[in-house]
Chains A and B, each alone.
Chain A
Amino acid sequence: MFDLVYSTVSFASYGNAFGLSNVALSSFDILLAYIVAIVVAIIVALVLKLPLLPSKPYRYSFDVSALYPTPVIAIGILSIFLVLNYTFIYNGIILAAIIGILSALFVKYLFDFVFPKPLDESGEDGVQ
């Protein structure tokens, strides 16, 4: 059984010497795609008038902002595309830009609908 586990894991991580899995792009292109996704996501979020930083005591991340969670969503989804080896044209840069724009739109208009705030936000002490 351990043999099976080992061979499965080693197959899954095959070609992983540089930590880039089965991505067909060069590492420079991947870095560029990530940077493009992050920058586009932040800029579009700012254009859509999201605040740059979350509200000050950094403990309540249900308040969306341009720096969190927009780039996280953008690079997360871009990573899924990269891992599935779907990079569209121009070495993935167009794909990165599209994902950046869409994630900013998602955060602005759909986030509260998909991830509603917990009901008892005013009273965490509601339990007592």
Chain B
Amino acid sequence: MNEVIGIIIAAILCWLNFVIVDTYFGLPEQPGVKGARIVGEDVKKRGGDIAGGFFQGNVLCSPDASAGTLLASIGYLLLGIPGGIIAAFFVFIGNRLCGDPGYAGTIGSLTATIIVFICSFVGFTPEMFIVGMVIAILTIQGISQVRASIILGKIAQKFNRHAEE
């Protein structure tokens, strides 16, 4: 498969994976760790959405499905399916060390391992998913945090996971 097309599709798959898993497990609803609350309130102060801000803060401060997807792709590149599962295990330990009460990281890296495995039959390589995940995180955190938080807030509302204000 052409690398550029593969990276674009992998980025979309990674984005969907981590946003859906993170939203389902309630990242926009409450800050799991203290830093997430500070980021969320700062984003809100700049005109963003508080739920999207909590989402971005949680992604930033502790290993969630975004870090899980990235680490699972790297583990898959190095060690195959067992590598992805080891990544999930390490993300789980990282969550405990951060004091983050969520389930998103572990579940996200397991689903990412499954996605990379299924896509490997169609010609995707794990490298494409690593690059795609970096691009996916860039769209959330890097380009415009305020606008991204508004989109994330809308997604959270669809999932009925919006933070009550």
> Size class of A's contact patch?
20 to 34
> Does chain B have a CB within 8 A of A52?
no
In the complex, the answer to whether A124 meets B92 with C-beta atoms within 8 Å is: no
A21 to B76, CA, bound (A): 9
Q: Is the CB of B103 within 8 A of A83?
A: no
Q: How far is the CA of A59 from the CA of B110 in the complex (A)?
A: 18
The smallest beta-carbon distance between B127 and chain A, in angstroms, is 9
> A18 — which chain B residues lie within 8 A by C-beta?
80
Asked if B117 contacts A19 (CB within 8 A), the reply is yes
The answer for the CA separation of A30 and B80 in the assembled complex, in Å, is: 12
Most-contacted residue by chain B among A19, A23, A124 (CB, 10 A): A19
The answer to the question of B45 belonging to the interface, with a C-beta cut-off of 8 Å to chain A, is no
Q: Kindly state the separation between the CA atoms of A37 and B110 in the bound complex, as whole angstroms.
A: 16
Q: Mark B34-75, 1 if CB is under 8 A from A, else 0.
A: 100110000000000000000000000000000000000000
Contact of A68 among B26, B34, B76, B103 (CB under 8 A): B103
0/1 interface trace, chain A 50-92, chain B, CB 8 Å (1 if under): 0000100111111000001100110111011011000000000
Q: Could you tell me how many residues of chain B have their Cβ less than 8 Å away from some Cβ of chain A?
A: 33
Q: Which residue of B lies closest to A20 (CB)?
A: B80
Query: Taking CB as reference atom, which chain A residue is nearest B85?
Result: A79
B106 interface hit (Cβ, 8 Å): yes
**Interface residue? A12 (CB, 8 A):** yes
Whether B30 and A59, one on each chain, are in contact in the complex, defined by CB atoms closer than 8 angstroms, is yes
The reply to whether B77 and A80 form a contact with Cβ atoms under 8 Å apart is no
**In the complex, what residues of B have CB within 8 A of residue A20's CB?**
80-82
Q: Which B residues are CB-close (under 8 A) to A73?
A: 89, 92
Stretch at the interface among B8-16, B94-102, B141-149: B94-102
Per the bound structure, the CA–CA distance linking A21 and B78 in Å amounts to 8
Contact between A76 and B83 (Cβ–Cβ < 8 Å)? no
B155 within 8 A of A: no
**CB distance B26 to A58 under 8 Å?**
yes
Q: Is the CB of A79 within 8 A of B82?
A: yes
Contacts A73-B89, A76-B89, A76-B92 given: A59-B101 contact, CB under 8 Å?
A: yes
**Max chain A C-beta neighbours (<10 A), residue from B29, B31, B79:** B79
Query: Out of B80, B90, B97, B103, which one reaches A21, CB within 8 Å?
Result: B80
11 contacts between A and B (CB under 8 A): A9-B78, A13-B80, A16-B79, A23-B82, A30-B82, A59-B102, A79-B86, A80-B82, A80-B89, A124-B30, A124-B37
